[in-house]
Amino acid sequence: MTENPIIVALDLPPDQALTLADALRGRVRWLKVGMTLFYAAGPEVVIALKEKGFDVFVDLKLYDIPHQVSGAAARISRLGAGMLTVHASGGSAMMRAAVESSRRAAEEVGMAAPAVLAVTVLTSTGEAGLAEVGVERSPAEQVALLARVAQEAGVDGVVCSPAEAADMRKLLGDDALVVTPGVRPAWAETGDQQRIATPLDALVGGASHLVIGRPVTAAAAPAEAIARILAEIEGVTP
């Protein structure tokens, strides 16, 4: 492991999220701002976390007509986000619009462009959930189909469950980002996730980054939880 692969999902009220960020400073590089936090605090929370020294993954799963997604991706890029997400189900034109507008916007303000990640199948969705919306393929088959479309659209990587990480690594190559939610340490509860794995198994399978939320954010001592997860990855006793 060359660097800390953990992305902590700050699905918390704004004041709690910023307090937790302070507690994790120097422990992790990446923090994730999803819908819960972004809709409560607005774009300013991304700026605040950047000022605290973190790289920020803005996970809003953009999904709309290409024009709307293009504008949203540009706005997120200007905030200084390091990663942003679009739904692969939105199709190649939509994803390509996000990639192009995010790079253009970042260049205009002199920032590095964020990595654009395509969300494939949510980790809370299994075969029954796909069938409910008319998808007869298995989760693995659907992830592969969407990842191929995303690759052709020029994205930098995908978001998938750990179960598909190895296939995504083979399909997308060594340089692609493979970001896996649904990661639970051996000592944590699984919650509402279905297709899950331990941190070590996800990394061995091909993940580049691990999104971990409640095992850290709900811990009595979040910094100790991070240390415990890293120890689990490295196979040592904290």
Structural domains in the chain, CATH included, are: 6-234 (3.20.20.70)
DSSP state of 109: T
For 127-138, write each residue's pLDDT tens digit: 999 999 999 999
To the nearest 10 degrees (0 to 180), the angle between helices 14-24 and 222-234 is: 50
Band (3; pLDDT cuts 50, 70, 90): confident
Burial code (b: 16+ CB inside 10 Å, e: under 16) for 75-84 equals bbbebbbbbb
**Nearest-angstrom CA–CA distance, 16 and 87:** 28
Distances in whole angstroms, Cα of residue 144 to Cα of each of 107, 149, 196: 31, 9, 17
Strands (E), 92-232: 115-119, 157-159, 177-180, 209-212
Share the mean pLDDT of the chain: 93
pLDDT of residue 237: 43
pLDDT at 189: 66
pLDDT at 194 over 80: no
pLDDT confidence of 30, banded at 50, 70, 90? Answer: very high
Contacts made by residues 232-238, CB under 8 angstroms, sequence distance 24+: 232/185, 232/186, 232/198, 232/199, 232/200, 233/1, 233/5, 233/199, 233/200, 233/203, 234/1, 235/200
Work out the pLDDT band at 223, boundaries 50, 70, 90: very high
pTM above 0.85, yes or no: yes
- State phi, psi for 8 to the nearest 5 degrees: -85, 125
Which residues are annotated as catalytic?
61
Average pLDDT over residues 112-140: 95
Query: Could you give phi then psi for residue 109, rounded to 5 degrees?
Result: -105, 10
**Nearest one of 43, 40, 48, 42 to 20, comparing CA atoms:** 48
Q: For residue 142, what pLDDT band results from cuts at 50, 70 and 90?
A: very high
Question: If you average pLDDT over residues 172-201, what whole number do you get?
Answer: 82
| Region 144-151 average pLDDT | 98
* Band of residue 190 on the pLDDT scale cut at 50, 70, 90: low
Average pLDDT (89-115) is 97
Q: Where are the beta strands (DSSP E) in 88-125?
A: 115-119
Mean pLDDT for 85-110 is: 98
If pLDDT is split at 50, 70 and 90, which confidence band does 1 have?
very low
Beta strand pairing status for 55-62 and 30-34? parallel
At 82, the amino acid letter reads G
Q: Check whether 238 has a pLDDT greater than 50.
A: no
